[in-house]
Amino acid sequence: MTRSTCLYLELPLTDYREAWELQRKIVTAKISRSLSRDVILVLEHPPVYTLGRRGGIENLCVSKAFLERKGIAVVPVERGGDITYHGPGQLVAYPLLDIQRTRLGVTDLVGRLEDVMIHTAAAVGISAGRNPLNRGVWIDNAKLGSIGIAIRKGVTFHGMALNVNLDLTPFSWINPCGLQGVAMTSLEKEAGRAVDMQEARQAGIANLAGALDMHLERVELETVMRSLDLSGVDTADGPKL
């Protein structure tokens, strides 16, 4: 059977709200069938806390004034899960998939994304695994990667966040994912050496292709924007995705 082709975009450090808005626009285009292809965004975010559908503001352990001094926003979103932190040095992937076409249930997709993080850790010599009580990826009792998914009319968005070489300090200001007494870790901390983000990105992209059984075709953001007519550009003669 021929593997389906999924577009992927490697974005630079991108404000969380901007990436969230891009996801929502792509989801809308997929629901309306103006975009037929699945899309994966691969990126990093500046420092931000996000709150999932379970809430999580009660798991914020510092004051609003403290966060304002640090320049860290708190953004409620529609993904599953509780509070988490994103920052530079964390590999984030957002699969925007037609769940019926991929024949994956939500639990299946979460498991596949856990596989991606486990295999990406292995690529840099780190052995990670699952915790039967809590989703995500773990090394002993320390959490290495988190997952939060949303589905709108059969299209998935949000996704996974793998700690590569980020500053872990902001995790100490929350109960990560609503779990008290849980330590967070990173590939760099576990390896005891520098871990290059580009190395982790390339391993992650290859593992996404394998876990989702898709061929990934890299495209530029401008191509997607033109195809969706999100930028106000006339796309009558432009590419159709």
* Residue 59 C-beta-side C-alpha neighbours within 13 Å: 24
Query: What does the alpha-carbon distance between residue 195 and residue 17 come to, in Å, rounded to a whole number?
Result: 27
- Residue 134 scores a pLDDT above 60: yes
Residues whose CB falls within 8 Å of the CB of residue 160, separated by 6 or more in sequence, listed in order = 92, 93, 113, 116, 117, 145, 146, 147
- Residue 145 scores a pLDDT above 70: yes
61 is an active site residue? no
Q: What is the domain partition of the chain in residue ranges?
A: 4-44+88-168+177-228
> Would you state the pLDDT for residue 181?
81
> Would you state the pLDDT for residue 232?
40
Which contacts (CB < 8 Å, 24+ apart) does range 18-27 have? 19/43, 19/45, 19/94, 20/75, 20/77, 23/94, 23/96, 23/157, 23/158, 24/157, 25/228, 25/230, 26/96, 26/157, 26/224, 26/228, 27/96, 27/152, 27/155, 27/157
Write out the E strands in 181-236.
Answer: 183-184, 214-218
> Would you state the pLDDT for residue 240?
44
Beta bridge pairs of residue 92: 43, 161
- Structure tokens of 61? 């352990």
- Residue 34 scores a pLDDT above 90: no
What is the average per-residue pLDDT within 50-74?
92
Q: Which of 117, 100, 110, 205 is nearest to 150 (CA)?
A: 110
> Would you state the pLDDT for residue 102?
87
State the average pLDDT for the chain.
Answer: 91
Asked which of 11-15, 52-56, 83-87, 174-178 is least confident by mean pLDDT, the reply is 52-56
Cα torsion at 118, 2, 217, 121 (round to 10°)? 10
Determine how β-strand 4-13 pairs with β-strand 38-44. Answer: parallel
- Structure tokens of 82? 């509780």
Marked catalytic residue, from 177, 187, 203, 211:
177
**What pLDDT, in 10s, does the model give residues 92-129?**
999 999 998 888 888 999 999 999 999 999 999 999 99
- Residue 231 scores a pLDDT above 50: no
CB 131 within 8 A of CB 147: no
**What pLDDT, in 10s, does the model give residues 148-203?**
999 999 999 999 999 999 999 999 999 988 888 889 999 999 999 999 999 999 99
Asked which of 46-55, 88-97, 204-213 is least confident by mean pLDDT, the reply is 46-55
Residue with tokens 């915790």: 131
Domain 4-44+88-168+177-228: CATH class, spelled out: alpha beta
Query: What does the alpha-carbon distance between residue 89 and residue 165 come to, in Å, rounded to a whole number?
Result: 5
